[in-house]
Amino acid sequence: MKILITGGAGFIGSHIQDGYIKAGHKVVVVDNLCAGNKKNLNSKSKFYKVDIASPKVKAIIKKEKPDIISHHAAQIDVRKSVADPIWDAEVNILGIINLLEATREARVKKFIFASSGGAIYGDTKAIPTQEGHLEQPASPYGIGKLTSEKYLDYYNLQYGLEYVALRYANVYGPRQNSKGEAGVVAIFADRILAGEQATIYGDGKNTRDYVFVEDIARANVLAIKAKTGKYNIATSKETNINKIFDKIAKTAGVKTKPKYGPAKPGEQRRSCLDWSLAKKAFGWQPEVGIDEGIGRTVDWFRNH
């Protein structure tokens, strides 16, 4: 099959690109390189430096005629979405609408979407959280992801577009940018290895479900054959920020303590997802545990 990946030069998208190519698929990458890195591109991929909101996207999709679109280009910073919700919506909501219109016009068969489990569900007492739980996003970013899923429902109902929305937990691993839109694993690894003090915002007791990026890539390969629906991609294990910091420092062999700053708006207290539906639907399950994943991530940062 031919698969067009938006955001394919980014942290998550580049691993998915590699996974698709390894599975024997042809890959086309569309990325504006705002957050992505050309070094992450696979030599077997065809690359277009284009923004997903650009009118050029329709022409590219019409020309390439992909069987599947895998949409991973996004504004991913929750805090930025709180500070500038209009910009967040312009990138994440208008971006997917532009892609869906191009998909409809080119008669693309399937759409795989990088959604967000934690951000969509919001704070919930049902831990680990299942897909049928009430969605209560606590940030414009989460609202944007949920809105995108609603548009997928519409295009499925109105035009018969098959889709798979993968609701990721907190993704970490090699190639993650430790600056700007990064997650805490990348930030902590970078700071600790550089001999700098890292900051934890809040008391560090917020929990997250950390899933390794290669497990995410496998989910995207398996999702090619999955039926239309929404699926959590996670580990169902909670780890708080303080423990993540300690694990990274120990793995790096550095004795250090974090400094604490004020909690950031839009941040959830707990997030942990139930992945059993993904296993039942298309045979996916997490394979890389947090200790192994942090070890591999720290090694990558040490060598880059």
Catalytic residues: 141
**Three-state secondary-structure class, residue 237:** coil
- To 5 degrees, how large is the angle CA 143–CA 146–CA 151? 120
Helix, strand counts (H, E) of the chain: 11, 13
- To 5 degrees, how large is the angle CA 205–CA 265–CA 147? 110
Residues with Cβ within 8 Å of 52's Cβ and at least 6 positions away in sequence, in order, are: 6, 7, 30, 32, 71, 73, 95, 96, 98, 99
What DSSP element (H or E) covers 231? strand 229-233
Give alpha helix (H) positions in the chain. 11-22, 56-64, 78-83, 85-106, 117-121, 140-159, 184-193, 213-222, 241-252, 276-282, 290-302
Q: Which two tokens stand for residue 52?
A: 């997903």
Torsional sign, CA 245, 303, 180, 233:
negative
CB atoms within 10 A of CB 225: 11
User: For residue 138, which amino acid is it?
Assistant: A
| Whether 205 contacts 242, CB under 8 Å | yes
d(CA 30, CA 6): 5
Bond into 128 cis (ω within 30): yes
